[in-house]
Amino acid sequence: MSGTVESVQASASPESKKDERSDHRKILEALSGLLLVLFVAMISSTIVSTALPRIIGALEGSQSQYTWVVTASLLAATVTTPIWGKLSDLYPKKSLVQIAIVIFAIGSIACGFAANTEQLIGFRVLQGVGVGGLQALVQVVIATIIPPRERGRYNGYLGSVMAVATVSGPLLGGLIVDTTWLGWRWCFFIGVPFALASLIVLAKTLKIAHTPRKVHIDYVGASLIALGVSTLLIWVSFAGSSFDWFSWQSAVMVIPSLLVLALAAWVEGRVKEPIVPLTVIKQRTTTLAIVASIAVGMAMFGGAVFLGQYFQVGRGYSPTEAGLLTIPLMGGVLISSTISGLLITKTGKIKPYILAGTVILVGGFALLSTIDHETPLVWVGTGMALVGIGVGMSMQNLVLAVQNTTALKDLGSASSSVAFFRSLGGTIGVSVLGAILATRVAENITRAVAASGVTPAAGEGVSNLDVAHLPAEMQVIVRQAYGDATGHIFLIAAFIAVVSVIAAGMLPKIKLRSTLDLPSAEVPAQAK
């Protein structure tokens, strides 16, 4: 069958335990390079989570630039994810993964040599293009070689790698910026050796048969999607800070972007090889999974990205200590993704775990919404653990639910569509919550300065996240302002996550199939 690993028939019933162990070993060999790739992509964002306050401080950046360093990478990954997914339906998947790794490595090196925040933001875009390819293609390749029923088991491995990357990333980033002879630039350089190692491993272990197809690239649709989404996300990033949400500047950016996206949808419904196949997205499971993924992405990325800033700026901990304090979040992802993956493979049921995960996610953010600059760390850690458990049970399994109802030939487009909308939600979440946080912090500082009688000159430069250079009285005010404002954005994240609960509850009862492709009778007519 096209797209299967050579000599590995994951859907076949093993004649003996020995054969089953042999198939399992071969699949793990094929997955080894992919898991390393996933680790590289995940650590690229998590390693800067605790280091960003120090990085932005060293480059004399501001709160808005802090948000843009995160948003730039997410934006690039979001825009390019569906394109990578479509290319994987047309070109050899192994080659595309290797190309994405090279782009990521080049972007990482460039970020490490950035001389100012503007350059760093620009190079993060290039890095994000590579990340977009990796986050789409790893899911696609796994779906190509492993049937959905067995995939739950291997999703546990994926969750474990994600958790290790997210746990080790903040710790590693903190250690790097706290080590004077290394410095923050190594937060970007350190991922390059992993990228090169993954290239070598993939060359030796990943073997995917590719059936040549006549290629029809939808360049018009891809360009329209990229233009429309980019303009919309740039508006979200600047609205509320550079201009009002409801202003002529907003109208100038929003109305054209919506018209471009409407035109993109019209084009996608008429071309032979659409970047985002509407026939697949219109299916009930896919539609609901996309809605849930947008909400999970907005809540997870938009909320969690500011935890490192909360611990360092709001609570005064070092980058290394901030990394250690985020362990409950990552531990929750590790435990829940592993256990839920094994249970899904055993039972063949997936909806109960997705629904439970989204409910727990809401509870975690609700708990975090109560924090301020003096909240006991046990309380903060409990909230983070609940968020991690919710993400581990829902995020990857939403992709699995879509893959289960999608024909093999459309796996790339379907999988990347879910990843695309999840990243879109994450980018919007980071931008909106970042803007709200900046506004809230400014209000808190202004109010505290007025109440304390501190001279206005002492408050100059408070937009710079390097709080240590401020006078002692201003340090206290700024830390309290950030610490108290963070709980507010988690409250918003909780309300956003409620949407994922509603969408998960509306999912049909899903029984995971044990074959790589849908039986001919089950392939939607419009997808044939």
pLDDT value at residue 102:
92
**Cβ-proximal residues to 299 (8 Å cutoff; 6+ apart), any chain:** 361, 365, 429, 493, 494, 496, 497, 500
Q: Rounded CA gap, 328 and 335, in Å?
A: 10
pLDDT value at residue 3:
42
Task: Please give the single-letter amino acid code of residue 29.
Answer: E
Phi, psi of 349 (to 5 degrees): -105, 145
pLDDT value at residue 445:
82
Helices and strands (H, E) in the chain, number of each type: 19, 0
Is residue 163 within 8 A of residue 331, CB to CB? The reply is: yes
Structure tokens at 191: 């991922």
What is the CATH number that goes with domain 17-217+273-527?
Answer: 1.20.1250.20
Q: Which residues pair with 5 in a beta bridge?
A: 208
Which residue stretches of 240-326 are H helix? 248-268, 278-281, 284-304, 307-309, 319-325
pLDDT value at residue 464:
47
Q: What is the pLDDT of residues 211-234, one digit of tens each?
A: 666 666 677 887 888 788 778 877
- Cβ count near 131 (within 10 Å): 29
Place of tokens 């339906």: 89
**Cβ-proximal residues to 167 (8 Å cutoff; 6+ apart), any chain:** 326, 327, 330, 331, 334
Q: Where are the chain's structural domains?
A: 17-217+273-527, 218-272
Spans of the chain below 70 pLDDT: 1-24, 26, 30, 46, 49-50, 62-64, 67, 148-149, 151-153, 155-156, 159-160, 162-164, 166-168, 209-217, 237, 240-241, 299-305, 408-413, 453-469, 513-528
Of the CA atoms within 13 Å of residue 357, those in its CB half-sphere come to 33
pLDDT value at residue 524:
46
Q: What is the pLDDT of residues 77-114, one digit of tens each?
A: 877 877 887 788 778 888 898 999 999 999 999 999 98
Q: Rounded CA gap, 327 and 53, in Å?
A: 19
Q: Of the candidates 75, 103, 73, 71, which has an alpha carbon nearest to the alpha carbon of residue 87?
A: 103
Q: Of the candidates 213, 246, 217, 210, which has an alpha carbon nearest to the alpha carbon of residue 83?
A: 217
Residue 61: burial class (beta carbons within 10 Å; 0-12, 13-18, 19+): buried
Is residue 101 within 8 A of residue 37, CB to CB? The reply is: yes
Place of tokens 């994600």: 162
Phi, psi of 511 (to 5 degrees): -110, 115
**Cβ-proximal residues to 46 (8 Å cutoff; 6+ apart), any chain:** 165, 166, 168, 169, 170, 173
Is the alpha carbon torsion for 145, 150, 152, 153 positive or negative?
negative
> Which segments of 424-527 are extended strands (E)?
none
pLDDT value at residue 1:
39
Is pTM, for the whole model, over 0.75? Answer: no
Structure tokens at 500: 């994922």
Is residue 319 within 8 A of residue 482, CB to CB? The reply is: no
- Cβ count near 476 (within 10 Å): 17
Place of tokens 């071969």: 26
SS3 content of the chain, % helix, strand, coil (to 5): 75, 0, 20
Structure tokens at 498: 């409620």
Angular region, 291: left φ>0, alpha ψ -120 to 50, beta rest = alpha
